[in-house]
Amino acid sequence: MIQLENITKTYGTGDAAVQALQNVDLHIPAGQVHGVIGLSGAGKSTLIRCVNLLERPSSGRVIVDGQEMTRLSAPQLNKARHRIGMIFQHFNLLTTRTVYDNVALPLELMGTKRQAIRQRVLPLLELVGLQDKASQYPAQLSGGQKQRVAIARALASEPRVLLCDEATSALDPQTTGSILELLRDINQKLNLTILLITHEMEVVKSICHRVSLISDGQLVEEAEVGEFFTAPRTQLGREFLNDFLQLEPPAALMERLLPSATEDSHPVVRLTFSGDAVSTPLISRLARDCGVDVSILQAKVESIQDRTLGLMIAELLGSSEQTRQAMQYLESHQLHVEVLGHVQRDD
């Protein structure tokens, strides 16, 4: 439904040139909710704005619903944009129009008749739960209600695709939850394809089927959400996951961590495991098979879609050969082992 082919976007020229996107390829099938996550300045907004050509790519092709957007004339592009709704972090409602008139606006611009507008707007207000707010003005609404109006407005022209540009970043966690629920509902009821950009893992976890990770204008990782949360393939992916799970070693331990091993130090490791490994008694096997004791410093189990994810920060106690074998043993059982540092034995 959405296809980006080898997209590059450069802002400015010469010394002032900023390459915001480099060789971006992305394919999102119809009916999917796809998230793009990345740090500030990574190129998320540029990427999503390239889909409806609010930003024109410097090179590459954008194809939406079979139509090559990058080849359309201005009037054709205008028409094609009716099939692509968009919502924004700060809602972008017209303050002088009522809720009803905000939702009606795209239809008015398309020349739709009054009666037909009414027949479209009222069910949309019902869909987003604002049927009793039709005659209110945006200033009278909460942030969540404003975003609901924006969603209804984006749906007015019966789009096939909805672009969400940090749509929940200005909302509190509870309101975020209800907006994400509404988006999930719309995705299922209308089979709407949704592309969203976010810097929040919670958003990805809640509603996305697949996720891409963007860094310095490049897509560096793409995976199903369950896979991304259980086995990110890049260091940046692991950092997002660790931030989300808030599993960092205690500060006092961090201060004692040595970057490399000494004769009488033990490794401190972060273990990430999923699937069968969660229910396998690996710790007792480490003691039995490798002669290594495990001192658990922090541990957590999370359910992500249909997968279970376990995380643990632990100190491996044994000789350097024993701990090396223990790490090999863990990796051979599909655990991701990251050595955070080494801690000097107390005794």
Is residue 106 a contact residue for ligand ATP (CB under 6 A)?
A: no
Residue closest to 319 by CA, chosen among 275, 269, 263, 279: 263
Q: Kindly tell me which residue out of 25, 30, 41, 295 binds ligand ATP, with binding defined by CB under 6 A.
A: 41
Is residue 86 a contact residue for ligand ATP (CB under 6 A)?
A: no
Shortest spacing between CB 144 and ligand ATP, in angstroms: 21
Is residue 219 a contact residue for ligand ATP (CB under 6 A)?
A: no
Is residue 42 a contact residue for ligand ATP (CB under 6 A)?
A: yes
Is residue 17 a contact residue for ligand ATP (CB under 6 A)?
A: no
Among the listed ranges 36-44, 101-109, 143-151, 287-295, the one in contact with ligand ATP (CB under 6 A) is 36-44
The residues that bridge with 211 in the sheet, in sequence order, are: 35, 223
Shortest spacing between CB 54 and ligand ATP, in angstroms: 11
CA atoms in the 13 A half-sphere facing the CB of 249:
22
* 40 secondary structure, DSSP code: T
Query: Smaller CB distance to ligand ATP: residue 54 or 317?
Result: 54
* 288 secondary structure, DSSP code: I
Q: Kindly tell me which residue out of 7, 26, 37, 38 binds ligand ATP, with binding defined by CB under 6 A.
A: 38
Q: Contact at 8 Å (CB) between 303 and 297?
A: no
The residues that bridge with 184 in the sheet, in sequence order, are: none
- 71: exposed, middle or buried (C-beta count within 10 Å: 0-12, 13-18, 19+)? exposed
Q: Contact at 8 Å (CB) between 57 and 7?
A: yes
Query: Smaller CB distance to ligand ATP: residue 35 or 43?
Result: 43
Query: Smaller CB distance to ligand ATP: residue 243 or 321?
Result: 243
The residue written with tokens 């051979």 in the block is 332
Is residue 198 a contact residue for ligand ATP (CB under 6 A)?
A: no
Residue 89 CA to residue 179 CA, distance in Å, equals 12
Shortest spacing between CB 35 and ligand ATP, in angstroms: 13
Shortest spacing between CB 15 and ligand ATP, in angstroms: 13
Is residue 250 a contact residue for ligand ATP (CB under 6 A)?
A: no
Q: Contact at 8 Å (CB) between 295 and 326?
A: no
Q: Contact at 8 Å (CB) between 181 and 154?
A: no
59-64 vs 2-11, strand pairing mode: antiparallel
Shortest spacing between CB 196 and ligand ATP, in angstroms: 12
Residue 317 CA to residue 267 CA, distance in Å, equals 8
Query: Smaller CB distance to ligand ATP: residue 12 or 123?
Result: 12
* 177 secondary structure, DSSP code: H
Is residue 123 a contact residue for ligand ATP (CB under 6 A)?
A: no
Shortest spacing between CB 40 and ligand ATP, in angstroms: 3
Residues that bind ligand ATP (CB under 6 A): 11-12, 18, 20, 38, 40-46, 199
